[in-house]
Structure 1
């Protein structure tokens, strides 16, 4: 259980860092362009995450033998 707890702490820390970077990217984009496009940046991030999960799921599937 202790090893699992340490592993989950690492996963939680990684997730926290990713979301912190998303908000930093929104602020950085606003400083470059003068436009605050929260929804666009979040939707691109969400879409790319879903594509990555679909690709990872497809890679892990073994082809069926007939």
Structure 2
């Protein structure tokens, strides 16, 4: 089973550049897909016969962050 963790952070902040009486909403999207720390650890009993020679059961993991 593959999984990822997704968070959305929403904050209310002042508009920069001298308009401090006005405010805006700023959002951040963070997607963390774990697996890069142990990329050579292919032990997963739920995938019989998996090995590093067969590229293992894992997918190419990555992280995505953006400001909306």
Give TM-score scaled by structure 2 length.
0.28
Give TM-score scaled by structure 1 length.
0.28
Does 1 or 2 have the higher relative contact order (CA < 8 Å, sep 6+)? 2
Higher normalized helix content (fraction of residues): 1
Higher normalized strand content (fraction of residues): 2
Q: Which of structures 1 and 2 has the bigger CA Rg? A: 2
